[in-house]
Amino acid sequence: MTAIKLGLATAIFSTITATVLAADGEGARIAAAADKAIRPVMREHQVPGVAVAVTVDGRHYFMNYGVASKETNAPVTENTLFELGSISKTFAATLASYAQALGKLSFEDHPGKYMPALSGSAIDNASLLHLATYTAGGLPLQFPGAVKNDADMVSYFSTWKPDAKPGKKRRYSNPSIGLFGHTAALAMGGSFGDALETELFPKLGLKHSYVTVPKDAMSSYAWGYGKADRPIRVNPGVFDAEAYGVKSSAADMIRFVEANIDPGPFDGTVRRAIEGTHIGYFDSGKMVQGLGWEQYSYPVSLERLLDGNSRTMALDAHSVKALDPPRLADGATLYNKTGSTNGFGGYVAFVPEKKVGIVLLANRNFPIPERIKAAYAILETLAASAQ
């Protein structure tokens, strides 16, 4: 793996300076593509800072724009910590896949096996796989406001009533994958945060990724900016860690992307865990739902990516067809995931067969379509470099 820093934009709209690879054709093309895609978006949506990391056949490039804090003007770097929002779900998926590879759980299990209070309830008719793929039967995007702690969570699931049979409809849901991640951590004998920070992250080589940012890393933690344009960070909540609570850097996230592109160098258990998240389970007609990642046959049009990541896909229930048997994609595939909190927005995508991937992290929750358009334009340049 070769990591090359192309430059640092210390003002929000300044041009990238290729300080290391001034004579490198590939680096210059990627820098130009990123500059063209990112600067207009930052200007239009008043995004204080963006970190972009890309990988092409093991070569990593970092392009950083703007500031991590408008109050201090600290510049964004590849080590700046951003809130990942729902990109965190890919870590919940990887942890559960790791637990299955260790023999500590099976995706065919039901949540009542690990949470006896849920035995015999409607939610216990769903398998862990249904929870992971948002097909448990209509769980909502968010918990009701009355759910404020674990006792409330158990009470909610104990009385929840589905509006579809498991495996028939996909409805994107934080409580759904949150319960999936929670049961995975219970199967491993600890909390979800501890399982990530002490077990999974070290095995993946992620040294600056956290559920709870430690004091000695707080200076690297960007501030997010919402509608009021005041500095904000994510609020705690039930299943926050599992569904949207990871904080990471562009440098760590491109390592995670590289691990997904080629898990071969990892030990057998970690390799099987990563590969397990690439199995497709349900076809929505717009994309295939795997574990954490959503899949598209590659090459894929921008329109199809936008359709698969649309607001309706996030808010509405959609009929799905179970892949029987579940299987790895046949042919080149783009895997992607969006993520947002009130003050942050991100996007990750990669194509293992082309050995290319991109991470885009920002400290404003600007529209998902604009993130995908920007990343898509950069990916097109990466794909050309990979040919």
Residue 322 contacts residue 281 (beta carbons within 8 Å): yes
pLDDT digits (tens, 9 = 90+) for 123-142: 999 999 999 999 999 999 99
Planar angle of CA 263, 268, 272, nearest 5 degrees:
60
What pLDDT sits at residue 23?
38
Count how many Cα atoms sit within 13 Å of the Cα of residue 353 in the half-sphere of its side chain: 13
Paired sense of beta strands 82-83 and 247-248, if any: antiparallel
Residues 359-371, mean pLDDT to the nearest whole number = 99
In the structure, what pLDDT confidence band is assigned to residue 6 with cuts at 50, 70 and 90? low
Residue 12, pLDDT above cutoff 90:
no
Q: Which two tokens stand for residue 24?
A: 């490198």
What pLDDT sits at residue 383?
87
Residues 44-62, mean pLDDT to the nearest whole number = 97
Residue 387, pLDDT above cutoff 70:
no
* Mean pLDDT of the residues in the chain: 94
Indicate the pTM of the whole model. Answer: 0.95
pLDDT digits (tens, 9 = 90+) for 72-111: 999 999 999 999 999 999 999 999 999 999 999 999 999 9
Non-local CB neighbours of 37 within 8 Å, separated by 6+ positions: 373, 374, 375, 377, 378
What pLDDT sits at residue 385?
77
What pLDDT sits at residue 386?
76
Paired sense of beta strands 59-66 and 2-8, if any: parallel
In the structure, what pLDDT confidence band is assigned to residue 3 with cuts at 50, 70 and 90? low
Non-local CB neighbours of 345 within 8 Å, separated by 6+ positions: 85, 338, 339, 362, 364, 365, 366, 368, 371
**Structural domains in the chain plus CATH codes:** 2-91+192-386 (3.40.710.10)
Residue 348, pLDDT above cutoff 90:
yes
Residue 17, pLDDT above cutoff 60:
no
- Residues with catalytic roles: 86, 172
Burial class (CB in 10 A: 0-12, 13-18, 19+), 174: buried
Instruction: Give buried/exposed letters for 148-168 (b at 16+ CB in 10 A, else e).
Output: eeeeebeebbbebebeeebbb
What pLDDT sits at residue 289?
99
Q: Which candidate, 64, 362, 77, places its Cα nearest to that of 223?
A: 362
What pLDDT sits at residue 226?
97
Q: What percent of the chain is modeled with pLDDT above 90?
A: 92
Strand partners, 125: none
User: Which of 18-22, 199-203, 368-372 has the least mean pLDDT?
Assistant: 18-22
Q: What percent of the chain is modeled with pLDDT above 70?
A: 94
What pLDDT sits at residue 21?
33
Residue 300 contacts residue 356 (beta carbons within 8 Å): no
pLDDT, greater one: 22 or 40? 40
